[in-house]
Amino acid sequence: MARPLEGLRVLDLSRVLAGPFAGRMLSDLGADVTKLEPPEGDVTRGWGDIRNGISGYYTQQNAGKRAICVDLERPAGREIVHALAANVDIVIENFRPGVMARHGVGWTDLQSVNPRLIMLSISGFGQDGPEASRPAYASVLHAESGFIARQAELDANAPTDPVLSIADMNAGLHGLVAVLAAVVHRERGGEGQHIDLSMLDVMLVTDDYATFTLDEVPLTRGGGEVWDAPGGPVIVTGDFRSIWRDLVRRHGVMDPTPNGASLDEKIRCRRGAVQAWFLSFDDRAALIAALDRSNLAWGDVRSTTAAYQSPTALARNVAAEVDDRGGNVRRVVQSPYRFSAADSGVSGGPAYRGEHNREVLEEWGQLSGEAIDAFEKDGALIAGEKS
């Protein structure tokens, strides 16, 4: 079956995670994506397990893309980008605001050579806000958005950053939504679009606890709670009061609260009774059967390694295999899109730095072999290397 975005060309100038993740998803959906890297390559080429000259982190975010290597510090580098941008649909970048323009490849520069171009610019604080020039990684936005402080308050622990780049991944996904909306808009009206995506905006709009702040009411914890249980901890989702009522009604849990107890003591006693109920089962299977009879939503507290071995992950082939460039395969996480009448998924392995210089410049930039030779001699185009 065909892929939904076949025929779209995407020039990915972004680095590390937010932009490359959006590019990887566009590739999985069928777009032809080429990653443009500086002479030193994307910094993630050195992150994780390196096999046959390519790291695991780079593979995960850039599998299926072609790769070219261009030095934007040289004037001829600007010429290369202009030649490519004239014949692509989408450009992705996540430099600090102003960097692209200083190199002559900003929105106004590229729009002048391609009025139908769609450019996605991901930044920490927006393209023209009062803090636009600040460097911003995911951890900075986790702190600035209130996420770290809130988690510390509710957990009664010192503030720490989560082991997950939430701001980057959310920005990549919202960038993907915006790009696809811009494609539809262009097909209706024929004009391109510059998308200004702020990671701070993204963190705040994806915060389902925002209503407590905006309504100026006390914060309460929702979601799941972890309990000790036979075979390891288990998480149960729902308000404690409703869980308590269910366990009393369906499983006969007794309320140990003494008469005249304060509210805090009543809560403490009931929580103790619930914890004792969890630990009262001889094995995990019996506990899970009891939770299922109550129709309570529960989850195993798995390690990340175990998560990829869950029945659902295995059945849905969440870990896909791609060429490791050495005659074997390595695993990457598959994109989650499943269509009834279209195909999707990682389309190939990762590329070496500058591996597709000539074919992309000939195909997209419509440049002659002599012109490409001149760019290489100038140093603006860096010949492909196995790294």
If you search the block for the tokens 């999707």, which residue do you land on? Answer: 344
pLDDT digits (tens, 9 = 90+) for 252-302: 999 999 999 999 999 999 999 999 999 999 999 999 999 999 999 999 999
Q: Is the residue at 218 inside a domain?
A: no
Q: Helix crossing, 75-85 with 369-378: angle to 10°?
A: 150
Rg of the chain, C-alpha, whole Å: 26
- Residue 183 sits in a domain whose CATH number is 3.40.50.10540
Whether 189 and 114 map to the same domain: the answer is: yes
Q: Which domain holds residue 281?
A: 234-300
User: What average pLDDT score do residues 66-76 get?
Assistant: 96
Name residue 68's beta-bridge partners: 36
SS3 letters for the chain? CCCCCCCCEEEECCCCCHHHHHHHHHHHCCCEEEEEECCCCCHHHHCCCEECCEEHHHHHHHCCCEEEEECCCCHHHHHHHHHHHCCCCEEEECCCCCHHHHCCCCHHHHHHHCCCCEEEEEECCCCCCCCCCCCCCHHHHHHHCCHHHHHHHHHCCCCCCCCCCHHHHHHHHHHHHHHHHHHHHHHHHCCCEEEEEEHHHHHHHCCCCHHHHHCCCCCCCCCEEEECCCCCCEEEECCHHHHHHHHHHHHCCCCCCCCCCCHHHHHHHHHHHHHHHHHCCCCHHHHHHHHHHCCCEEEECCCHHHHCCCHHHHHCCCEEEEECCCCCEEEEECCCCCCCCCCCCCCCCCCCCCCCHHHHHHHCCCCCHHHHHHHHHHCCECCCCCC
Whether 93 and 126 map to the same domain: the answer is: yes
Whether 268 and 161 map to the same domain: the answer is: no
Q: Output the pLDDT for position 31.
A: 98
Q: Output the pLDDT for position 220.
A: 75
Q: Is the residue at 35 inside a domain?
A: yes
Whether 275 and 181 map to the same domain: the answer is: no
Q: Cα–Cα distance between 270 and 272 in angstroms, integer?
A: 5
* Tally of domains within the chain: 2
Whether 295 and 312 map to the same domain: the answer is: no
pLDDT digits (tens, 9 = 90+) for 178-235: 999 999 999 999 899 999 999 999 999 999 888 888 888 888 777 789 999 999 999 9
Q: Is the residue at 169 inside a domain?
A: yes
Whether 16 and 50 map to the same domain: the answer is: yes
Whether 200 and 348 map to the same domain: the answer is: yes
Q: Output the pLDDT for position 385.
A: 74
With a pLDDT cut of 90, the percent of the chain lying above it is 92
Q: Is the residue at 227 inside a domain?
A: no
Whether 166 and 272 map to the same domain: the answer is: no
Query: Last residue of a domain, which of 300, 328, 346?
Result: 300
Query: Last residue of a domain, which of 280, 300, 320?
Result: 300
Whether 62 and 132 map to the same domain: the answer is: yes
Q: Is the residue at 219 inside a domain?
A: no
Predicted model pTM: 0.93
Whether 165 and 204 map to the same domain: the answer is: yes
Report the greatest alpha carbon distance in the chain: 91
Q: Is the residue at 101 inside a domain?
A: yes
Whether 70 and 168 map to the same domain: the answer is: yes
Whether 64 and 18 map to the same domain: the answer is: yes
Residues that are catalytic: 168
Task: Look at residue 73 and tell me whether its pLDDT is greater than 80.
Answer: yes
Q: Output the pLDDT for position 387.
A: 66
